[in-house]
Amino acid sequence: MIYKPLSTPLYRVEGVSCTVTVAEVAADEIEQDVAGTAHLFQRRVDKVADVRVTVIGRRVFCVRINSDLLDWRTDYSRLTYDVVQPPDGITEGLSAYLAYFGLVFGAFDFAVDRDGGWWFLECNPSGQWAWLEPETGLPMVATMADLLERKPR
């Protein structure tokens, strides 16, 4: 399984900025000490890529993040990007998720397995997205501006 922080706190070690990243963990490594606060443990997916699906208002932007990293956020220089279409039912599911929580934005993360299946990992209600526009040409900034001005596109 993997351990994921619920947030990414920044801290310093000998003056160098650090953060907690996703890491593999075995069941016998989890001790009673974790009972003191919330933690997130997920099944490790044998993935070939990740997908960041950014929903801005009614627009859905799906970007496949190609890397061989467990946590793609650890080395942006090794990433390549492809605009992809979501499998059937994903867009409807994301819309239902956002409606349930009263949100108009979500940065959803999926792992893509060797058979092309998408595994839902999480929704970041304040997730990063702007770096994807220059990489893909998707009109995400204009869409966000329209949403903030309440002009549906």
Residues 62 and 125 grouped into a single domain: yes
Which CATH number characterizes residue 57's domain? 3.30.470.20
Residues 63 and 113 grouped into a single domain: yes
Per-residue pLDDT tens for 7-58? 666 677 888 777 667 777 787 877 777 766 677 777 788 899 999 999 999 9
Residues 137 and 67 grouped into a single domain: yes
What are 122's two structure tokens? 């999480």
Residues 46-73, buried b or exposed e (16+ Cβ, 10 A)? ebebbbbbbbbbebbbbbbbebeeeebe
What global pTM score does this model have?
Answer: 0.82
C-alpha 60/C-alpha 91 separation (Å) is: 7
Residues 61 and 19 grouped into a single domain: no
Residues 29 and 76 grouped into a single domain: no
Flag whether 153 is in a domain. Answer: no
Main-chain phi, psi angles of 90, to 5 degrees: -65, -50
CA angle 27, 33, 37 (to 5 degrees): 105
Q: Which domain holds residue 12?
A: 2-41
> Is residue 153 pLDDT above 70, yes or no?
no
Q: Per the structure, how many domains does the chain have?
A: 2
Flag whether 86 is in a domain. Answer: yes
CA 123 to chain centre: 7
